[in-house]
Amino acid sequence: MLTIKDLHATVGGKEILKGIDLEVKSGEVHAIMGPNGSGKSTLAYVLAGREGYEVTRGSVIYKGKDLLAMSPEERACAGVFLAFQYPVEIPGVNNTYFLKAALNAIRRCRGQEELDAMDFMHIAREKMKLVHMKDSLLKRAVNEGFSGGEKKRNEIFQMAVLEPSLGILDETDSGLDIDALKTVAEGVNALRGPQRSFLVVTHYQRLLDYIVPDFVYVLSDGRIVKSGDRGLALELEKEGYGWVEEAVGT
């Protein structure tokens, strides 16, 4: 589904990603771990197409297409979804209206018929249950005045409605208490399936207790310095990132 080769990227002229190689197949969950500043979030943004993140070398092939040549909205239409670490508040734009517009835009590219308000609400109500989101949040402006936990739930809720093929979770666990973390993780697990893959970017391993990955990578200074299975995450929990960095001599 996703093949990343020798990916280099700069932000504001500074090289952050220094050659990433990664292969994600349908249905797999890959966890990307690493200390602050290692380039985890940069990788997430580069894949979603954020402006200001310049790819200087390498390639990203997604479902056989050059992902880097696509605009953010084209990527979304092709099934890429980024759950933001810091979801932005958008005053004046109603949450329901926004999500309905997004779903219909994606349905248009997929050649599906657009949904009317009633059909949309039917789907929305169903998906809200996944993350135990309050009905009232639908009526508010996008993320405006939401608590940290509500914002993260809203991200997973959007993902559930938009049904992407590749979900990228950028530090979805940050700022969540253990109950909210469990709820969000259960929401993600409910979306797992043979046709859907996930890249889970996280600093801490505790999220991986709930979203169990197939592969774990450690990113350090823009490179993948270690890879393994779930056991690697547990080791990191015990030893800290210093252990990896020492081991690879960075």
Partner 1 sequence: MSAVVAGTDDPYVQQFAELSGRLPGSAVPWLHRRREEALDQFSRLGFPTTRDEDWKYTNVRPIIKRPFELASECCVGLVEDDLGDDLLPELEAHRLVFVNGRLAPQLSRLGDLPEGVSLDGLARLLDSEPESVETYLGRLAKPSAYGFAALNLAYMTDGAVLRVGKGVAMEHPIHLLYVATPQAAYMGYHLRNLVIAEEGSRAQVIEHYVTLGEAVCLNNVVTEVAVGASATVAHYKLQQESEKTYHVATLEVQQVEASRFDSYSVSMGGALTRNDINASLDAEGAHCELIGLYVAGGRQHVDYHTRVHHLRPEGTSREFYRGVLSGRGRGVFNGQVYVHPGAQKTDATQSNNNLLLSPDAEVDTKPQLEIYADDVSCSHGATVGQLDPEMLFYLRSRGIPEPMARGMLTYGFARDLVERIGIAPIRHRIEVELTRRLPNADVIEVE
Residues that bind partner 1 (CB under 8 A): 48-51, 71-73, 75-77, 81-82, 84, 87-88, 90-94, 97-99, 101-103, 105-106, 109, 141-142, 158, 162
Of 98 and 243, which CB lies nearer to partner 1 in the complex structure?
A: 98
In whole angstroms, the minimum distance from the beta carbon of 219 to partner 1 comes to 22
Of 120 and 217, which CB lies nearer to partner 1 in the complex structure?
A: 120
Report the distance separating Cα 150 and Cα 133, nearest Å: 7
Helix extents (H) in 22-147:
40-48, 72-77, 95-109, 117-130, 136-139
In whole angstroms, the minimum distance from the beta carbon of 105 to partner 1 comes to 4
Buried/exposed 50-89: b ≥16 CB within 10 Å, e otherwise:
eeebeeeebebebeeeebbebeeeebbbbbbbbbbbebee
Of 170 and 245, which CB lies nearer to partner 1 in the complex structure?
A: 170
Helix extents (H) in 110-214:
117-130, 136-139, 148-162, 178-191, 206-210
Of 43 and 224, which CB lies nearer to partner 1 in the complex structure?
A: 43
In whole angstroms, the minimum distance from the beta carbon of 96 to partner 1 comes to 9
Of 86 and 246, which CB lies nearer to partner 1 in the complex structure?
A: 86
Residue type, 239: E
Q: Burial of 13 by CB count in 10 Å (0-12 exposed, 13-18 middle, 19+ buried)?
A: exposed
In whole angstroms, the minimum distance from the beta carbon of 143 to partner 1 comes to 9
C-alpha distance across the termini of the chain, in Å: 31
In whole angstroms, the minimum distance from the beta carbon of 16 to partner 1 comes to 18
